[in-house]
Structure 1
Amino acid sequence: MATNRLQADIDNWTLTTPAARSTRGAVASQHRLAAQAGAAQIDAGGNAIDAIVATAYALNAVEPWMCGLGGSGFMVIWLAREQRAVALDFQGTLPGRIQLDDYPLDPGRPLTPMGFPGVVDNANIEGYRSITVPGAVAGLDHALSRFGSRPRRAVMAPAIQLAERGLFVDWFTSLQIGVCARTLARDPVSASIYLPGGHPALPESRIRIPGLAETLTEIADQGADTFYRGALAKRMIDDLQAGGSRLSQEDLAAYAVFEYEPMAAEHRGYTLYTPGEVSGGRRQRDMLAHTRASMPTPPAAPTPESWLAYAEALEQCWREHKIRNGVLSSTEGDLDGENGACTSSMSSVDADGNMVALTYTLLNRFGSGVTLPATGMLMNDSVSYFDPRPGYPTTMAGNKRINSSNMCPTVAVKNGEARFSVGASGGNLIMPAVTQVAALMTDFDMDLEAAIHHPRLDASFRDSVRVDPRFAPETVRRLGERFALEISQQTVFPKLYACVSAVSRDPVTGECVGLNDPTQPIGGGAAPAPFTLDSLGDDGPVVRP
């Protein structure tokens, strides 16, 4: 098979990341401050659910381009005392009055990241018409009220502090803004926040997002009710409809979180829990089943044949998924786009063995690019989860819920103890990355730190398989005998192998470990400690719209 080495040896460094360790618990997130906000809840006597909710809210202020109040997602929770797993689906829903006529096809535009045809003016991925009902606030509030232990105001306090301080702009933040500058420039509010003077905000400055701290405070005081049925809902709908959205107050008021028993996949003595059919969970289950069939007894350590088995299993489960979703017939080639830089994933564990994996998203980086003027909320572009053509399983229809996602938060349990939880951001890259980390830990008894740092491949039934050049030459050669390869090193940008966050807990020693992907310079794990704002950036100029 042909091998393309054009993406090898781009960056001249070795990427590693430290792990947080504690017998009291741990949190991992794509931003260290958010992980610290979560770990502070455990330090104050809270549990893993309190920690994950605090982390998720804090990300609004420190990683707004990936997730937030305007997003949606999934959560998997292991309740140690009850010996059961719970899944929460807080995915978005389309406006009740949505019309396909609002999204005429434009053959001149590329496919969307979900593999659907482009439409005129990018209306399904940019601007007000691309926004669905966001489920994040409902999902986080549901988790906290049902399974948390601390008051909402205390759990959200770090997020509010961070929003009041403002977003410190480092080089990584400037990069995120610069990549999406064209989309942000379409929205006057977003442009005033992120593109001061018409250019991406410069490192060493701080961005104040008008209204965000006040919105978080209102939610902390009144819960999800104000967001979906109260004063906050009214302000949101006024802004949305003024911008051309078909969302209504009835759409918000009708929103509901789905709580259900998660999908369970048995593998090498572990039970892996995922949100199931509407997430990447089915593909994960299928991939592991294919692996067991081709590798009934794993060797002591991964071999070239092990990686060939993983690649073939990923290719097969992705092919079946694309056929099910109507973006690939049984004879067509790959139609799916690639979106390797979206979403945020986080994990938490406490000393009692409760464990959570949460993934939520605005979909694309900065979502729709729209910041609602009255609330400071950056909104999703999740209409692009749906097909603008009639007659497909994912065709747009009023009040339809997102029913196909790459997100794959996973909690792995063995002998009644949650051993690890893992999730990732990165669109199509998510499920392959999450499943490889899980497979390395279950097939070869790797610890979490080794599995996160191990070279990965990416296979999703496209024209080639992407391979990290850190693999042994014999592994690369064996894969090249079967597939066309892209030899592509791990880089900070673009992230070619997803961005993984995970925690683990040793049932014997009680040691909890948390870490984020080595390609994420702002990410990390955190051990329980009081939350205090760092001083980084406090002396920089504040950018006020």
Structure 2
Amino acid sequence: MTWQGLNADVENWNVTTPVAKSDKGVVAAQHRFAAQAGAAMLDKGGNAIDAIVATAYALNAVEPWMCGIGGSGFMVVWLAKEKRAVALDFQGTLPMDIDLADYPPDPDLPPTPMGFPTVVDNANVEGYKSITVPGAVAGLNHALEKFGTLSLPTTLDPAIRLAEQGVALDWFSMLQISLCSRVLARDPVSSDIYLPAGHPAIAEHVLNIPKLADTLKEIAVTGTEGFYRGALAKRIVSDLQAGGSRISLADLASYEVQEFEPMEAQHRGHTLYTCGDTSGGLRQREMLAHTMENMPTPPTDPTPDTWVAYGEALDACWKAHKIRNGVITEQGACTSSMSSVDADGNMVALTYTLLNRFGSGVTLPSTGMLMNDSVSYFDPRPGYPTTMEGGKRINSSNMCPTVAVKDGEAVFSVGASGGNLIMPAVTQVAALMMDFGMDIEQAVHHPRIDASFSGIVRADPRLGVDVLNALSKKWKLEVSQLLVYPKLYACVSGVSRDPKSGICAGVNDPSQPIGGAAGSAPFKLPYIGDDKTIVRA
């Protein structure tokens, strides 16, 4: 079979997303308002760590369905002055009193997105029993305290202002809510917020999340101590236990961030830093090594053989991962990824998540926190390495925040959301920059493939007929256009810095209509008037 006449099966539009450039630093994120919140920290004289923390907190108010203080994740930081990288694991943990009896498998339900049995009432995927101890506040505050320069109240200010104003709903927000209406309807608080009158909140209205702004204000004052051991912790646990969770005050109080030396991968003079075995980092290192073996000297521009080499490398690293892991990893999960860089060359890649879109579907009534459903990372059956066990930490993820360094200078950082799609997308964007000298804008916009040792390779038709024909000779080929939904190639955010000129650039994936990047500038609340009507820019 040859791939001709593709236009018959392709939508008649194509989009790009603008790149932001500045010599004072840039932030890229899956929501442009959050990127602007982070960039405002650069304008205040803060560094890339201040910027990423402000961005991550702001996402609670503008992209709550993907991540937030009820979630967990990974971060990689490049400290320019010290010329060293640091990784943070702030993944969630199971409550010490977790009981397998609460999760009886239901043979009539399909497996979870992680490949484990789904249990009665979807309790490991939806509702209070699906929630792990959230690590996000501990992780973000740890980074700020150790490596940032601004205060916690300063970095939280844009998030608080956005939460007080409310979310200006657009069609993309409506899509996210509609996709999860069934799960949101199970929780009375989430239903009141996102499904007023029993229907998804509609565009061109303002959506308010009660108590969220107050919770962010309390975090700004009491910090990590208040969230995990103070009055806020008591309200969180009271809500959780009232809903059936076994998370206790002791579980919150004992939570710890893991700081460690990141995993390194070498590729064409670059050193790539990731969070290692428990992230997508090991697969990334294996893919790049396989690519070097099959393509020791890249051509001037990508050729059909390039994409075959990338496909073989993806298959090889996924095969090794599946042998090591023994289970299917998450498919189509929802996450948020962001990157930042400052004028001094500090650089950060951060990915954090509620796991599935809207996580557990639970909004805690006393705090406005939307909670994760990360219990589904664990097997409800006894006797497996991944079996649920009290205090066990999430130890396998596709998240792959990456910082690349060359000649002692950070040159780009990149991450993505999208479950199984994350590592292939992140590594291809990185490879296109290192193998072919593309800049961050070119690499993020370049069409990609996806492969995970399934016998199938998915390919963007923009790669062209010659590439598709070459791929189809080796794999069953799924030709799929880059779309807003479903996202078939992950959603990438990245920044770069030219060490010679000092020019920083940032860009978000064109499949994310609310995403964007921002250079250093004061923060301004967007698009909503004092009377809570939508104001056109």
Q: TM above 0.5, one fold?
A: yes
Give me the whole-angstrom Cα distance separating, in 2, the residues matched to 1:266 and 1:59. 33
Structure 1 residue corresponding to 2:331, chosen from 331, 338, 341: 338
Secondary structure at 2:76 match in 1: strand
State TM-score, norm by structure 1. 0.96
Which residue of the partner structure matches residue 395 of structure 1?
387
Which residue of the partner structure matches residue 510 of structure 1?
502
Map of 1:496-507 to 2, 5 A cutoff?
496-507=488-499
Counterpart residue type for residue 348 of structure 2: V
CA displacement at 1:379 relative to structure 2: 0.1
Map of 1:30-49 to 2, 5 A cutoff?
30-49=30-49
Question: Given the alignment of the two structures, is residue 93 of structure 1 paired with residue 93 of structure 2, yes or no?
Answer: yes
Give me the whole-angstrom Cα distance separating, in 1, the residues matched to 2:9 and 2:263. 40
CA displacement at 1:114 relative to structure 2: 1.3
Give me the whole-angstrom Cα distance separating, in 2, the residues matched to 1:171 and 1:40. 27
Question: Given the alignment of the two structures, is residue 269 of structure 1 paired with residue 250 of structure 2, yes or no?
Answer: no
Give me the whole-angstrom Cα distance separating, in 2, the residues matched to 1:511 and 1:537. 35
Which residue of the partner structure matches residue 523 of structure 1?
515
Counterpart residue type for residue 407 of structure 1: M
Residue 466 to residue 53, structure 1, CA distance change in 2 (3 Å): same
Deviations 1:160-191 (A, max 9, x none): 00000001110000000000000000000000
Give me the whole-angstrom Cα distance separating, in 1, the residues matched to 2:8 and 2:37. 37
State TM-score, norm by structure 2. 0.97
Give me the whole-angstrom Cα distance separating, in 2, the residues matched to 1:4 and 1:109. 40
Map of 1:370-519 to 2, 5 A cutoff?
370-519=362-511
Residues 329 and 398 in structure 2, CA contact (< 8 A), matched pair in contact too: no
Give me the whole-angstrom Cα distance separating, in 2, the residues matched to 1:10 and 1:338. 24
Question: Given the alignment of the two structures, is residue 368 of structure 1 paired with residue 360 of structure 2, yes or no?
Answer: yes
Give me the whole-angstrom Cα distance separating, in 1, the residues matched to 2:236 and 2:223. 15
Deviations 1:68-120 (A, max 9, x none): 00000000000000000000000000010111121111122122111212211
Identity of aligned residues (%): 70
Which residue of the partner structure matches residue 300 of structure 2?
300
Deviations 1:127-172 (A, max 9, x none): 0000000000000000000000001101100000000000111000
Question: Given the alignment of the two structures, is residue 174 of structure 1 paired with residue 167 of structure 2, yes or no?
Answer: no
CA displacement at 1:393 relative to structure 2: 2.2
Map of 1:7-22 to 2, 5 A cutoff?
9=9, 11-22=11-22
Residue 182 to residue 463, structure 1, CA distance change in 2 (3 Å): farther
Give me the whole-angstrom Cα distance separating, in 2, the residues matched to 1:8 and 1:515. 30
CA displacement at 1:388 relative to structure 2: 1.4
Which residue of the partner structure matches residue 124 of structure 2?
124
CA displacement at 1:537 relative to structure 2: 6.8
Map of 1:229-268 to 2, 5 A cutoff?
229-268=229-268
Secondary structure at 2:21 match in 1: strand
Residues 163 and 212 in structure 1, CA contact (< 8 A), matched pair in contact too: yes
Question: Given the alignment of the two structures, is residue 324 of structure 1 paired with residue 324 of structure 2, yes or no?
Answer: yes
Secondary structure at 1:223 match in 2: helix
Question: Given the alignment of the two structures, is residue 111 of structure 1 paired with residue 107 of structure 2, yes or no?
Answer: no
Unaligned runs of 5+ in 1: 328-334
Counterpart residue type for residue 61 of structure 1: A
CA displacement at 1:338 relative to structure 2: 2.3
Counterpart residue type for residue 52 of structure 1: I
Give me the whole-angstrom Cα distance separating, in 2, the residues matched to 1:4 and 1:111. 37
Residues 8 and 469 in structure 1, CA contact (< 8 A), matched pair in contact too: no
Give me the whole-angstrom Cα distance separating, in 1, the residues matched to 2:207 and 2:238. 25
Unaligned runs of 5+ in 2: none
Give me the whole-angstrom Cα distance separating, in 2, the residues matched to 1:470 and 1:524. 22
Residues 410 and 421 in structure 1, CA contact (< 8 A), matched pair in contact too: yes
Secondary structure at 2:276 match in 1: coil
Residues 94 and 375 in structure 2, CA contact (< 8 A), matched pair in contact too: yes
Counterpart residue type for residue 451 of structure 2: A
Counterpart residue type for residue 256 of structure 1: E
Counterpart residue type for residue 90 of structure 1: F
Residue 395 to residue 4, structure 1, CA distance change in 2 (3 Å): farther
Residue 204 to residue 13, structure 1, CA distance change in 2 (3 Å): same
Residue 437 to residue 189, structure 1, CA distance change in 2 (3 Å): same
Counterpart residue type for residue 210 of structure 1: P
Which residue of the partner structure matches residue 188 of structure 1?
188
Which residue of the partner structure matches residue 72 of structure 1?
72
Give me the whole-angstrom Cα distance separating, in 2, the residues matched to 1:248 and 1:446. 50
Counterpart residue type for residue 168 of structure 2: F
Counterpart residue type for residue 198 of structure 2: G
Give me the whole-angstrom Cα distance separating, in 2, the residues matched to 1:275 and 1:240. 30
Counterpart residue type for residue 443 of structure 1: D
Which residue of the partner structure matches residue 62 of structure 2?
62
Residues 456 and 476 in structure 2, CA contact (< 8 A), matched pair in contact too: yes
Secondary structure at 1:482 match in 2: coil
Counterpart residue type for residue 14 of structure 2: T
Counterpart residue type for residue 410 of structure 2: A
Question: Given the alignment of the two structures, is residue 227 of structure 1 paired with residue 208 of structure 2, yes or no?
Answer: no
CA displacement at 1:540 relative to structure 2: 5.1
Residues 357 and 411 in structure 1, CA contact (< 8 A), matched pair in contact too: yes
Residues 168 and 527 in structure 2, CA contact (< 8 A), matched pair in contact too: no
CA displacement at 1:300 relative to structure 2: 1.0
Which residue of the partner structure matches residue 215 of structure 1?
215
Secondary structure at 2:272 match in 1: strand
Give me the whole-angstrom Cα distance separating, in 2, the residues matched to 1:128 and 1:3. 48
Counterpart residue type for residue 341 of structure 2: V
Secondary structure at 1:362 match in 2: strand
Give me the whole-angstrom Cα distance separating, in 2, the residues matched to 1:290 and 1:445. 19
Give me the whole-angstrom Cα distance separating, in 1, the residues matched to 2:68 and 2:8. 34
Residues 426 and 499 in structure 1, CA contact (< 8 A), matched pair in contact too: yes
Which residue of the partner structure matches residue 23 of structure 2?
23
Give me the whole-angstrom Cα distance separating, in 1, the residues matched to 2:299 and 2:98. 53
Deviations 1:3-58 (A, max 9, x none): 89999845331020000000110000000000000000001100000000000000
Residue 66 to residue 6, structure 1, CA distance change in 2 (3 Å): farther
Give the number of aligned pairs: 534
Residues 3 and 465 in structure 2, CA contact (< 8 A), matched pair in contact too: no
Deviations 1:384-431 (A, max 9, x none): 111112222221111000000000000000000000000000011000
CA displacement at 1:336 relative to structure 2: 5.4
Which residue of the partner structure matches residue 331 of structure 1?
none
Residue 4 to residue 248, structure 1, CA distance change in 2 (3 Å): farther
Residues 433 and 498 in structure 1, CA contact (< 8 A), matched pair in contact too: yes
Counterpart residue type for residue 400 of structure 1: K
| Aligned CA-pair RMSD | 1.7
CA displacement at 1:538 relative to structure 2: 6.1
Map of 1:277-288 to 2, 5 A cutoff?
277-288=277-288
Residue 185 to residue 6, structure 1, CA distance change in 2 (3 Å): farther
Residues 8 and 488 in structure 1, CA contact (< 8 A), matched pair in contact too: no
